[in-house]
Structures are given as structure tokens and as C-alpha cells.
A and B are shown apart, each in its own frame.
Chain A
Amino acid sequence: MEKKSIFESDSFRSVLASLISILFGMAVGAVIIAIVGFRDPTLGAKSVGDGIKLVFGGLFSTGRNAEGALTWGFNSASVGNMLFRATPLIMTGLSVAMAYKTGLFNIGAPGQYLMGTMVSLIVALSIPSWVVPPQIIWFIAFFAGMLAGALWGMIAGAMKAFLNINEVLACIMTNWIAANLVTFVFDVTSYKNVVENTKSGYIYKTSFNNVQTAKMGLDKIFAGSQINAGILVAVLFAIGVYVLMEKTTLGFQLKACGSNRHASRYAGIRDRRNIVLSMGIAGALSAAGAALYNLAGNTEFFWSTYQSLPAIGFNGIPVALLALCNPIGVIFAAMFMSMLSIAGLQLSNLTAYNEYITDVIISVIVYLSAFSLFIRTILKNVGKKEQTVNANAEPVPDEPAKEPADGAGEAAALDESSNTEEGGKQA
């Protein structure tokens, strides 16, 4: 057997495609920083240089020294906070990725996240901690939140399975119902934080009831950060989702239904049940992210959400896309996204730039993540050309199905993969 070209390995191409979108996004960010810097008299060339360095290496910035130059090194607070912020993103990313692998586009992560937030907060704050040990309350709240998210996800799943309503529509609708429901529930209940009432509109931190996520010594390693064991839970979930999808009969069924619902029905697989289940699991994952974030003990929830949906929910989509829906990849994609927001903080702390410049970079990357399929196709063609020259190479069956070759095609593929007869091509 001839040695295969490295371009022929699908996983290599996938990773490379994601890396290219990331690099391209950061390069665009650098250009924007330069443009803004040179146009603004208060910034200038030095700030531009610092700004670009911070965008790429903000995570390892340790401030400025006496001479005013940037210093670099291991910043335990930044890394810890990066991991802390990545935790819920991993979960919503998993939620979207897992649903996508089963042929469903879960745009309902924000709603499921909100339901998880509401139920876990109410449970964590209403069980008296002098009766039940706080650790037990934490677990009850966590699982109750997950259950709420699962049920919420199942609504959209059931509408798809039994009424053939596109899950995207059902998800968007249930998102706003969740947003209003949560506002209503916290409006009529008494979990509002009146103790620290200089800040109105917030719910009690769960630490008021002594409920908080265990630190497990991580706060020692990453001194000065908000980190807790939630990140470990999220990583375990990612491994769990990987095992579920790749190793179990349930994952096999779910993927079969997603890839070709007709063939699954033909094979005696209960397609309706699996669609509902798939959305239920996706909902549970999003809600678990909400619970991990809100049960941390140091986070506050602004309850008047009826006009906006939590960005963490939506950010699950770019995380999943960037990770090409690989559960393990989701961990790194989520860490990368939160690293950028840390870089943004550093940027506004250490230079005259405001932190929104990183939002621009994040949006460019998000935008490009939709193009990662396109980039993958280009890489494939590069590989093919190399192969044709090498006539002795191993036979490769030509692929009749062309992958969508642009961003719009990607969106369509996400959308249609659930209902085309041949099943959408999985990313």
C-alpha cells in the first residue's frame, strides 16, 4: 500500500480548516486594530503593536512593567478565568454539536439554557441548607436544571417528530417563550436580591444559601480566578457525549435517524422517539451549562431577560461549527472563544482600546467558522491534485455528492440534513 497523502485524511483537513478560520479571524482583528490605532491620535503606533500582541497573546499577559512595556508570563487569573468562562460554552457547544450529528439544528440552546438557569437557581435557593447539606442541594439543583432543559428541548423535538414542524422554527419560538417565562417566574417569586439592592434586577447568588460548586483545589493552581470544578464536569460531559455518539447503540440509532430518517424507520428504529430524545439530550446539555455557571456561587443572574436571549446559548453554535461537531474539539473551541474574551479584557485594561474590538474578532471567526466546510473543500481539491499526479496511489472512489461550497450552503445543509432523503452530509 502506498502512503496516503496527508491531505487525504479527513480529520487532518477538518482541523486545518478550523485553524485557518481562526488565524484568518485574528488577522482581520489585527488589521482592524491597526486601522483604528492609526486613525485615533490617542493610540498611535505603539498602541497598535501592543494591541496586536494582546489579541494574539492576551491570555499570557501579566500587565506592564515600570518602563511601561508589556510583560508576559503565566497569568494564573487569566487562565483560570478562561477555563471558568469556557465551562458553559463547552456545554452549549456540545448541545449544538450533538444535535447536529443527529441531523437537528439546535438553535434552541439559549432557551434551554434559560430554563436550566431558572430551575437550578430556584432549587438551589429554596432548599434550606441547614436541613440538607449544600453539596446535596448542588446536585439536586444541577440535575433539576438539566431535567428542565431536557423537557424544554423535547418540546421542539416532539413538534418535529410528530407534527413535522422544522426544529429551527420550534426552537426560535421556545427560546422566546423561555425568555418571557423566566422573567415572569422571577417577577412573581421572591428570589430577587434585596440585600445588595444597589444592584437591582439580580437574583441571589447561590452562595447565599451556601450552595457553590466545589473548587477541588483548582483555585490554588489558578490563584485569583473564579475557576471551580465545573470545567472538569464539562470535560467529562464532552467525553461522555463522544462515547455516547461513537460507541453506543443509542448513539448509532440517533445518528442513523439524523442521517437518513427513512432508512432508520425501515430498519425498525423508532425515529420519532429518537428525534425527541436527541433534542432532550441537547436540551439537558445546554441546561447543564447553565447550572454549572449559575451554581458557581459567585455569579449573578439578571432576571429580566424577556428582551434578550443569553449569548452563551447562541455561542454554542460557532463553538460547535469551529469544532466541526466533534465533542472533544468542542472543549478546545470553547476555550479558544473564552480566551479571546480574556484577551479583550486585557486589551481594555492595558491599552486605550475598548474591549469590543475582540467582539469584532469573535464575530469574524464565527462568520468564518461557517466557511470551514468551504475551506475543507478547497483543501480536499488540493489533496486531489496531488493525488492525480501520483498515479500509483491507492484507489479512491470518487465522491458523487459534492459538499456545499459556500457559507449559505452550509446553513442550508444544517437545515436540510434532517429532511433530505439522502441525509445531509455530516460535517
Chain B
Amino acid sequence: MDNSQDYVIEMLHITKVFPGIIANDDITLQLRRGEIHALLGENGAGKSTLMSVLFGLYQPEKGEIRKNGQKVEIRDPNDATALGIGMVHQHFKLVEVFTVLENIILGSETTKMGFIQKAEARKKVEELSKRYGLSVDLDAKVEDITVGMQQRVEILKMLYRDNEILIFDEPTAVLTPQEIDELMKVMKNLVAEGKSILFISHKLNEIMAVSDRVTVLRKGKYVGTIDTKGTTKQELSSMMVGRPVQLEIDKTPAQPKEEILKVENVCIKSHVHDRDAVHNVSFTVHAGEIVCLAGIDGNGQTEFIYGLTGLDRLSSGSITLCGEDISHASIHDKGKKMSHIPEDRHKHGLVLDFQLQENMVLQRFEEPQFQNHGFINRSAVRQYSDRLIKEYDVRSGQGSVTIARSMSGGNQQKAIIAREIDRDKPLIVAVQPTRGLDVGAIEFIHSQIVKERDKGKAVLLVSLELDEVMSLSDRILVMHNGEIVGELDPKKTNVQELGLYMAGAKHM
């Protein structure tokens, strides 16, 4: 076959067994120098395990890793770093109380006599940031910046270390279409300069657009490696899922009925700067329609949802839900008429160290069917949780008693969706419900949301993914700088126009 000198990294016949589970079964991945190689697979397909093996976090039972044709041992991440392998993780590894600059240089600080040379580092980071169009505020603390900017910090961190082999783990999840295009350019520049990129993704559009070759994994097994040029999205998705997948959402036109949610002139103060994070926002959501709040990350969507659901206070304006003024009601009271699929499933969605069944009744444990004079009715909780797990196909190691932390991201999200939809409230607030999930899970979640709409629920969707915005919503509201700058009909608009509104270049 190919001359092995072509490959900068080869992972040959890797097998990694966890107790009772074969996470990687004889997987071979060969990365050519200067190519963008996509690694495609559903959650639990073994992508993360394979990357952890490459990164030295796990030792494989069988197989070997070669760099430039030479066999190498990677025992820990330091070995990987020494070999020039860098990774942007899906869950960011940043120190929240450090500044952006400090995070970037952390671990490879330039020092002179024990003092950190921040000025030098700053120069280098600024150059990188300009060169690759990764705008960051170097002096902001990580805890104060948006998820999108945190992602850019992670990428800069890797660039700062002059890594040769770059692993991008779901890098586009938080970017706007324009930013994604920009990132694609960055990636192409990088490979043009001789770097090699492993691109972990399940977004078929991006894989088609940017990668040279694709390796597909399914349930720990190697399915195949193909040239991107010779394949289609449809073929890739069926390779990944193992069955033909419906990529388009099957939904009928909306039949909006009575008004459920009315938002009038809502303003919310920002916790970062002096201006309003949300300014003078008004709109309505009716029963039987999906209204999508679109926009670039950090334009007030998160703050608005916090205000709507009670996690934060409104500074002015009013919110009416089912005819009742809930502007200043408690979270508990608001929850009586509203389900909320939160943006951050680890921060808000789940108590990670609790069992799945306890998480399933997180809002409902005080309801009569789950308690008796203040004592939790364990068997009722168990039954309820078992039912949700079955109905919504939530997979976990030990069913209801699984600790939430040990579940995969997709199943954690499914558990939250099951819980929120089953609460059966007139309004469903879904914030990035498919963030970081794979095709199979996205298909399922979208169909559930459409099903709820058809049952007469009002759905307020917040999404950063343009595909999702365009295909799932019945009405699009675009937020920019805390204000609603446009209302669009997904049938009459296109991604480019939407992008202009999102960037603030176009107003109503």
C-alpha cells in the first residue's frame, strides 16, 4: 500500500478494552502529513477513547503508534506534547480565574530568572490571534468570557505551543457560519504550512467542506476510511449510524394557536459590563409553533433565557405566561408552566453526582406521587425514571441508579430532554438542545421537539447552529447586541441573509 513515510501519525490495530466493554476494537487511523483527516462517529463510537490513547491518557491493550514511521510509546500527555501533538478538547480545560493570556501560556511560560515574560508571550499571542483571525480579549478572565471566546482561547493555546499535529475535538459547535468559514480557512492555512489536523466532528457539512479523508467508527469498530471527494453526506451518515438517516426534519407547517408567552420591553443588566445584556426585547410565542432565537453566541440570548426562567432578574419590562404576569416570579413558580432545557447541561441540567433517577425528579420530588409526608417514595421515583429511560431510550451503564457523571454527553442530554418534555408544560424553552450531539441523537431530539409542537406546545428555541435554526423553527428572531434585530421566516430566507442579521450588518 502507501509508503509509510507519508504518514505523520499512524495508529495501527489499536484495541482498548474497558471492563466489559471494548471501546476500540482493532482500529487503524493513518494521518498523512499536511492533510485534514476527519474522524466521524456517534457518541460512544470510540472517538474519544482513540484520541485519549493518542494523547497518552490510556494505554492500548493491542496495537502500536508510529510517528514518521517510527514506533513510539506514549505513556502520558507529556509524551504526546513532546511529539508535537496538541488538542482542543470538547470540554474546555481552562482555569476560570486566570486571564486569557495566562491560560494560553499556562504550562509553557517563557521565563527569565523565574519571572514570567508576559510581554513576550503577549506579543506572540497577539500575532497568532491576528494571523488566524482568532479575536480574544487577552486580559479578560476566562470566567467572564463567552463559550465562543473560550473555544478560541483553546485553539490559540495549541497554536502557541507550535504543535505539529493538531486535534480539533468538535471545534465548530460554538461558532457562527462566518466564523466557521474563517476557522475552515485557518485549518487550511495550517495544513498548507505543513501541520496535520485530526478533525473530530459529526457535522457532515463541515467534514465535506474541509477534510481530505474521513475515518468512520461505529460502536468501537473501524468502519472504513474514504476520500471526501468521492463520497456524499448520505453515505457518511449511514456509515456512521449503520442505517439510512433522515437528514431533513420531517415537519408540517405550523398551526399557531393562542398566545402562550408574551415578552414586553425586557431589559436585563449585564454582569460583565455596564450596558444592558438584553435591551428592550419584545416578542410572543404561540401554542403550536417553534420560535427560534438565533444569533451569535454572547449576544444576550443566554442572559435573556436566564431572565425568562428566573435564574436572573429583569431590570425592566414584563413577561406574561399563559395570561399570568411572571416577570418577577420565583424559578419554582415559573416552572409550573414552563419546561427548560438548559444551555449548560453540566452546570444547570444535572446534579452530576446524583443518580439518574434523582436527576429525573429534580424539579418534581415534592409532588405528591413522589413523596409521602416529606419522605421520598423511592419506588415511585424508580418506576417513573425507568419509564422515561425506556420511552426516550436513555442509555446508561446501570439504568436508573447510574451516576449521571458516568453517562455520555448525548445520553445526559436525552435524560434532560426526557425530564423536561415529560413535565408536560405549555411552554418549552430549549437552549441549544443538540449542542455537541451526534446525528442520531439530533434526529431524535428534533423529532421530539416537533412532536411536542404538534401537540400544541409553544416552543422557544435558542440555537447557534444555523442548520438547526433553518430546519427546525417556524419563525426566527435574530438577536444582536442584546436586541432583536430581525424577524425572519425560515421558508423565505437563507443562511447568508440570516448571517448578515446575526453579524449586525442588517436591521429590521
| Known contacts A262-B348, A396-B397, A399-B406, A268 near B365 by CB under 8 Å | no
The answer to whether A397 touches B406 (Cβ under 8 A) is yes
Give, as a whole number of angstroms, the nearest-CB distance from A164 to chain B.
Answer: 13
Which of A57-65, A183-191, A252-260 is the interface stretch? Answer: A252-260
Is A264 located at the chain interface by the 8 A CB criterion? Answer: yes
Give, as a whole number of angstroms, the nearest-CB distance from B153 to chain A.
Answer: 18
Contact among B335, B351, B402 with A259 in the assembled complex (CB-CB below 8 Å): B351
The answer to whether A256 touches B351 (Cβ under 8 A) is yes
The answer to whether A384 touches B19 (Cβ under 8 A) is yes
Contact among B332, B349, B371 with A270 in the assembled complex (CB-CB below 8 Å): B332
The answer to whether B331 touches A263 (Cβ under 8 A) is no
The answer to whether A249 touches B21 (Cβ under 8 A) is no
| Known contacts A249-B374, A400-B405, A425 near B331 by CB under 8 Å | no
Residues of A199-255 contacting chain B, CB below 8 A: 247-250, 252-253, 255
Which residues in B have their C-beta under 8 angstroms from that of A393?
19-20
User: What's the count of A-B pairs with C-beta under 8 Å?
Assistant: 110
Alpha-carbon gap, A267 to B416, bound state (A):
12
Which residues in B have their C-beta under 8 angstroms from that of A396?
18-20, 397
Alpha-carbon gap, A256 to B349, bound state (A):
12
Is A73 located at the chain interface by the 8 A CB criterion? Answer: no
Is A401 located at the chain interface by the 8 A CB criterion? Answer: yes
Which residues in B have their C-beta under 8 angstroms from that of A423?
351-353
Alpha-carbon gap, A267 to B365, bound state (A):
10
Contact with A along B394-410 (1 / 0, CB 8 A): 00110000100111000
Contact with B along A408-427 (1 / 0, CB 8 A): 00000000000001110110
Give, as a whole number of angstroms, the nearest-CB distance from A139 to chain B.
Answer: 24
Which residues in A have their C-beta under 8 angstroms from that of B333?
268
The answer to whether B311 touches A266 (Cβ under 8 A) is yes
Count, chain B residues at interface, CB 8 A: 40
Is B123 located at the chain interface by the 8 A CB criterion? Answer: no
Which residues in A have their C-beta under 8 angstroms from that of B396?
397
Is A265 located at the chain interface by the 8 A CB criterion? Answer: yes
Select the residue from A267, A395, A401 with max chain B CB neighbours within 10 A: A267
Contact with B along A255-293 (1 / 0, CB 8 A): 110011011111111100000000000000000000000
The answer to whether B362 touches A267 (Cβ under 8 A) is yes
Give, as a whole number of angstroms, the nearest-CB distance from B159 to chain A.
Answer: 26
Which residues in B have their C-beta under 8 angstroms from that of A248?
374-376
Which residues in B have their C-beta under 8 angstroms from that of A270?
330, 332
Contact among A268, A387, A391 with B332 in the assembled complex (CB-CB below 8 Å): A268
Contact with A along B5-27 (1 / 0, CB 8 A): 00000000000011111000000
Is A388 located at the chain interface by the 8 A CB criterion? Answer: yes
Is A398 located at the chain interface by the 8 A CB criterion? Answer: yes
Select the residue from A247, A266, A421, A426 with max chain B CB neighbours within 10 A: A266
The answer to whether B331 touches A260 (Cβ under 8 A) is no
Which residues in B have their C-beta under 8 angstroms from that of A390?
19
Which residues in A have their C-beta under 8 angstroms from that of B330?
268, 270
| Known contacts A395-B19, A399-B406, A266 near B353 by CB under 8 Å | no
Is B144 located at the chain interface by the 8 A CB criterion? Answer: no
The answer to whether B351 touches A263 (Cβ under 8 A) is yes
Minimal Cβ-Cβ distance residue in B for A244: B374
The answer to whether A249 touches B362 (Cβ under 8 A) is no
The answer to whether A266 touches B406 (Cβ under 8 A) is no
Contact among A259, A267, A391 with B353 in the assembled complex (CB-CB below 8 Å): A259
Is A359 located at the chain interface by the 8 A CB criterion? Answer: no
Which residues in A have their C-beta under 8 angstroms from that of B402?
397
Is B235 located at the chain interface by the 8 A CB criterion? Answer: no
| Known contacts A259-B354, A267-B363, A423-B351, A250 near B374 by CB under 8 Å | yes
| Known contacts A249-B371, A268-B330, A396-B19, A262 near B406 by CB under 8 Å | no
Contact with A along B405-443 (1 / 0, CB 8 A): 111000000000000000000000000000000000000
The answer to whether A263 touches B375 (Cβ under 8 A) is no
Which residues in A have their C-beta under 8 angstroms from that of B350?
260, 263
Contact with A along B296-338 (1 / 0, CB 8 A): 0000000000000111000000000000000000111111000
Contact among B349, B353, B375, B397 with A426 in the assembled complex (CB-CB below 8 Å): B353
Is B41 located at the chain interface by the 8 A CB criterion? Answer: no
Alpha-carbon gap, A307 to B500, bound state (A):
69
Is B358 located at the chain interface by the 8 A CB criterion? Answer: yes
Which residues in A have their C-beta under 8 angstroms from that of B332?
268-270
Is B112 located at the chain interface by the 8 A CB criterion? Answer: no
Is B346 located at the chain interface by the 8 A CB criterion? Answer: yes
The answer to whether B405 touches A263 (Cβ under 8 A) is no
Minimal Cβ-Cβ distance residue in B for A268: B332
Contact among A263, A387, A394, A426 with B362 in the assembled complex (CB-CB below 8 Å): A263
The answer to whether A247 touches B407 (Cβ under 8 A) is no
Count, chain A residues at interface, CB 8 A: 39
Contact among B310, B331, B354, B366 with A249 in the assembled complex (CB-CB below 8 Å): B366
Which residues in B have their C-beta under 8 angstroms from that of A266?
309, 311, 331, 340, 342, 348-349
Minimal Cβ-Cβ distance residue in B for A256: B351
Is B347 located at the chain interface by the 8 A CB criterion? Answer: yes
The answer to whether B331 touches A401 (Cβ under 8 A) is no
Alpha-carbon gap, A69 to B351, bound state (A):
59
The answer to whether B353 touches A387 (Cβ under 8 A) is no
Minimal Cβ-Cβ distance residue in A for B333: A268
Which residues in A have their C-beta under 8 angstroms from that of B18?
395-396, 398
Which residues in A have their C-beta under 8 angstroms from that of B20?
391-396
Minimal Cβ-Cβ distance residue in B for A271: B331
Which residues in B have their C-beta under 8 angstroms from that of A269?
332
Select the residue from A250, A263, A265, A394 with max chain B CB neighbours within 10 A: A263
Give, as a whole number of angstroms, the nearest-CB distance from A102 to chain B.
Answer: 12
The answer to whether B354 touches A256 (Cβ under 8 A) is yes
Minimal Cβ-Cβ distance residue in B for A420: B96
Minimal Cβ-Cβ distance residue in B for A257: B351
Alpha-carbon gap, A266 to B362, bound state (A):
9
Give, as a whole number of angstroms, the nearest-CB distance from B385 to chain A.
Answer: 14
Which residues in A have their C-beta under 8 angstroms from that of B309?
266
| Known contacts A252-B376, A399-B406, A425 near B353 by CB under 8 Å | yes
Which residues in A have their C-beta under 8 angstroms from that of B365?
249, 252-253
Which residues in B have their C-beta under 8 angstroms from that of A263?
347-351, 362
The answer to whether B346 touches A422 (Cβ under 8 A) is yes
| Known contacts A252-B365, A268-B331, A268-B335, A262 near B347 by CB under 8 Å | yes
Minimal Cβ-Cβ distance residue in B for A389: B19
Alpha-carbon gap, A269 to B362, bound state (A):
9
Select the residue from B19, B20, B335, B354 with max chain A CB neighbours within 10 A: B19
Which residues in B have their C-beta under 8 angstroms from that of A422?
346-347, 352, 405
Contact among A260, A397, A421 with B397 in the assembled complex (CB-CB below 8 Å): A397
Minimal Cβ-Cβ distance residue in B for A386: B19
Give, as a whole number of angstroms, the nearest-CB distance from B97 to chain A.
Answer: 11
Which residues in A have their C-beta under 8 angstroms from that of B342?
266
Minimal Cβ-Cβ distance residue in A for B361: A252
Minimal Cβ-Cβ distance residue in A for B366: A249
Alpha-carbon gap, A249 to B349, bound state (A):
19
Contact with A along B144-170 (1 / 0, CB 8 A): 000000000000000000000000000
Can you report 30 residue pairs joining A to B where beta carbons are below 8 Å apart?
A249-B366, A256-B351, A256-B354, A259-B352, A260-B351, A260-B352, A263-B348, A263-B350, A263-B351, A265-B348, A266-B309, A266-B311, A266-B340, A266-B348, A267-B331, A267-B362, A268-B331, A387-B19, A388-B19, A391-B20, A395-B18, A395-B19, A396-B20, A397-B396, A397-B397, A397-B402, A400-B405, A401-B405, A422-B405, A423-B353
| Residues in A lying within 8 Å of B, measured CB to CB | 247-250, 252-253, 255-256, 259-260, 262-270, 384, 387-388, 390-401, 421-423, 425-426
Closest 5 CB pairs of A and B: A268-B332, A395-B20, A397-B406, A266-B348, A267-B362
Given pairs A263-B347, A265-B331, 19 additional interface contacts (CB within 8 A) = A248-B374, A249-B375, A250-B374, A252-B365, A252-B376, A256-B351, A256-B354, A256-B358, A262-B348, A263-B348, A263-B349, A266-B349, A268-B363, A269-B332, A391-B19, A395-B18, A396-B397, A400-B405, A423-B351
